[in-house]
Amino acid sequence: MEQYDICVIGAGPSGYAAAMRAIDFGRKVILIERGKVGGAAIYDGALTSKTTWELAMRVAGINEMLQSQNRKLFSMDWEDVQQTVRESIFDRKQQFSAHLKLLKEETSTVRFRHARGSAYLLTDHEVLITSKKGEEVIHAEHIIIATGSRPRKLPNIEVDEKIIMTSDGIHHMDHYPKSLVILGAGVIGCEYATIFSNFGKTKVYLIDRADRILPFEDEDIAKMVSDNLEKKGVTIHSTAKLERMEIVDGEVEYEISNTDGTTEVIRVEKALLSVGRIPNSENLGLENAGVTVDQRGYITDHNTQTKIPNIYAVGDVSGHIALVNMGEIEARHAVEQIVGYDHIDESVSYDNICTIMFLDPEVAAVGMNEQNCIEKGIPVKVVKLDFSCIARAIAMRKTQGFFKIIVTDDDQMRILGMRAIGEHASSAIQAIGLLIKMNQPIEVLADLVHPHPSIIEGIQECVRMLLNKSIFKSAVMKDAMQCYRRNALEVEHLQEL
């Protein structure tokens, strides 16, 4: 029986990161994957959807310019979209394939094995690998489970991945659908609504059970995204309950009920279910090792470690925050706990995660938002700066959007979070994320010399507003600059003199 220091089950972003970190410490490691290395981060997930989003945003940008000049609009064939997505997948796949090959062929010190097959725990140390070559049992001192997740389906809706689809099927269509209904107005649902409305070939309907899209975000963020979707022709069914969705004559018929008691029956060509994801925790033999899962199927853990001391769970299967960057952090943390790394953080922190929402405009976030602070009863100061005040945004002719920074309502003004919506939003929040992690004061950003012209100069102006030393004064730029105190009961507007 082959002996390993660490066995990693699943070669998506989390599992791959765990295996590579184990190599850093000279451990003998085996990485087991039944499907494709890279997982949903490459296939039918982040890379495919973001490649498509980039194309859709370019098409929309070109057409916005052409429309302003009363010229014929640009059209991109779906096959060209698909070809670009395939090229992106190929490039990333080749990087992983070449990396794995070179690890085995050109290094003499790395003790690493990539095993193709399904993994099944026989005990807390023994793993059965089943592949086309047969069965093999290996022994591992430590096991890291990183099996990821898959799109959630609903019991009363038949998903064939051709007419009614999840994110696993949406990229495999052979044409733009004439009409598409999306069930779920969270990040992914709004992302696909953005994509297909920006291509301009599809009438999009978005079913939202809440009174507004993106209910976890502040209303000003959600409203800008919602307004833009509606301008692109998206119909948003707010506070709507889906009564049924079924395939009728090769199309999708759905019925919704509204709060006023009315019902609507609508026929569309395709449907996309965007109602979350569920963990891949079945058929792993977890019970044989004593590993437990909660009612939703997520592996229960504390700081990545399960109740069985030598077994860890990271990434989507652990049920924390389902993001590639967070899964990689958890994976590295698990390995560092295993090897007793001296410089390891005491626990994984989820407080300063930088996230991106690929919408129109792009939305980026770190830390808490306003409604988080209200819910927790934290009095705050909030500062907002419109993109129309930023020279780079004016030069780009992309002045829709704003920066919003939230700080404690005291003399320290410790940063609690930031929201950015607009061009280059995802590039702008990193400095704030670093300040939160390092617990540094806002003066650091105020005194830093920012590149000019750049979008991130807007962050510096926000901080200067808090310190009463901004270039523009909010007292005379009330529509574009705001600074106010906020608690659960009231808002007090502040102005620089």
Backbone angles phi, psi at 454, to 5 degrees: -145, 155
Cβ count near 65 (within 10 Å):
11
Whether 280 and 150 have beta carbons less than 8 Å apart is answered as: yes
Residue partners of 44: CB distance under 8 A and separation at least 6: 167, 168, 169, 171
Pick the catalytic residue: 175, 320, 452, 493?
452
State the residue for tokens 């409203």: 223
Is residue 237 among the annotated active site residues? no
Structure tokens at 101: 């090959």
Walk across the sheet containing 363-367 and list its strands. 355-357, 363-367, 415-421, 402-408, 380-386, 481-486, 491-494
Whether 263 and 242 have beta carbons less than 8 Å apart is answered as: no
Structure tokens at 82: 């698909």
Whether 208 and 238 have beta carbons less than 8 Å apart is answered as: yes
Structure tokens at 119: 């993994």
Structure tokens at 458: 């807007």
Structure tokens at 250: 């090769």
Of the candidates 317, 275, 14, which has an alpha carbon nearest to the alpha carbon of residue 152? 275
CA–CA distance, 75 with 269 (Å, rounded to integer): 20
The residues annotated as belonging to the active site are 452
